[in-house]
Amino acid sequence: MELGLDFWLQLAVLLGCLFYAAPKGGMTLGLMGGIGLIIFIFGFGLKPGKPPVDVILTIMAVVCASSALQAAGGLDCLLQIAEKMLRKHPRFVCYLAPYICWFLTVLCGTGHTVYTMLPIIYDVAIKNGIRPERPMAASTIAAQMGVICSPASVAAVSMIALLDGYTVGGAPFGFPQLFSIVIPAALVGLFLVGTFSVFRGKDLDKDEQFQALIADPEQRKYVYGEKTTLIGVQFTSKQWLSLWIFLATVAVVALLGSVPELRPLVGKKRLSMTLVIQMFMLLAGILMVIFCNAKAINKTSVFNAGMVAIVSVYGVAWMSDTMFSNHIGTLKAGLTEWVKAAPWTFGIVILLVSKLVNSQAAAVATVVPVALAIGTPPGIVVAMASACYGYYILPTYPSDLAALTFDRSGTTHIGKFVINHSFIIPGLIGVITAVLVGYGLGMIYGFI
């Protein structure tokens, strides 16, 4: 069966909405779904698709818990521990900084923790004569690579919700299958990113442009600045308690995902992990309110970023589901053989979509349901999950822009042709390596 003119016109509308809204940010991206939906339903007469309610509710619960952690001060406790490690081993900053930023994302569920680390990474690098571009670009990439590896992240819980009920590797899909792929894959990818970063660019003492910059005493003072640090800050017992509550909750969720028998029976099936995540994240949030004095949760940067992610997923996923669900029979008939012959194309599609929507969660919510519906094996989806991070291709993501801003030396940069910026090579190295390692592990585990 061939796809008709209607399909291509609708696809053009969908892509047009994404291209217009993506540069303007997540809220615009989500709201843009309204235009696409009205054109599809009122203009083309399509049957409305289903908003990803389970995914949205799960994201909301995770964001509430993470925001409570920040409001209670537990996030600063975690960042202080990370800083101590960096300052103790400054010569290894190109390896340590990316791994630390990745680990913070895994623990907290958001790559936005990197904003607080970037000034510290810059300070450690510049004060030790290390080109700041090396650890800073690697760290922003590492922070985003940690998103799909976190049981508290929007992208990972979206993957869990969308694959709930599927069998992967002979067992019901859950956190163990996902993390047995993405975590080791990311660790290998980050090692190669760090190794590349050690040798990238000129050393500061041989960089003519940098030396000309600091020849001006005022510029030298600006470049080297004052020390930025959390070391010496005394945190209260309630702030530390909020961190332990959050980490304990993440551990319990991971355990319930790993051992389904621990979850209660609901009828003939075990309680779904989407509901487990929602319940326990809400529990973590209220415990931090009661025992850790978490206030103004809705005013934290984590809450703001999370709510934007919800709107983005809501609009984009509903719009795309409306279009693709009305053509799923034709798509399945036409693409089944293609999927069987070249299942790795799933990775390319989700990588490019993540760049279009500037969100791993939105990419997962948009691509995974279509991939499963046309017959892509769930094992392939899991094995190539690391490909959902592709928005480093252009330097427009907030964490990349933050790195450019915090690097007062100017070594982290956007090139003359825009595409030749500081983040693209570390991003390609990290993600391509992670996908290849993930695919290999998928074959070893029997997922593929």
Q: Are 37 and 322 spatial neighbours (Cβ–Cβ below 8 Å)?
A: yes
pTM assigned to the model:
0.73
33-37, 78-82, 279-283: range with lowest mean pLDDT: 78-82
Cβ neighbours of residue 389 closer than 8 Å, sequence gap 6 or more: 144, 145, 147, 148, 351, 354, 360, 427, 431
Q: Give the residue extent of every domain in the chain.
A: 5-445
Question: CA-CA distance, 249 to 65, in Å (whole number)?
Answer: 10
**Strand 269-270 versus strand 171-172 pairing type:** unpaired
The sign of the torsion formed by the CA atoms of 418, 421, 427, 429 equals positive
- The proportion of the chain whose per-residue pLDDT surpasses 90, expressed as a percent, equals 40
Q: How confident is the model at residue 440 (pLDDT cuts 50, 70, 90)?
A: very high
Among 422, 417, 447, smallest CA distance to 167 is for 447
Cβ neighbours of residue 425 closer than 8 Å, sequence gap 6 or more: 196, 200
Q: What is the mean pLDDT of the chain?
A: 87
Question: CA-CA distance, 150 to 373, in Å (whole number)?
Answer: 26
22-26, 169-173, 252-256, 304-308: which has the highest mean pLDDT? Answer: 169-173
Q: Are 201 and 207 spatial neighbours (Cβ–Cβ below 8 Å)?
A: yes
- What tens digit of pLDDT does each residue of 368-422 get? 988 888 888 999 999 999 999 998 987 767 788 778 878 889 999 888 776 888 9
Q: Name the residue type at position 131.
A: R
DSSP code per residue over 349-370 = HHHHHHHHHT-HHHHHHHHHHH
Q: List the Cα angle 413/417/422 in 5-degree steps.
A: 30
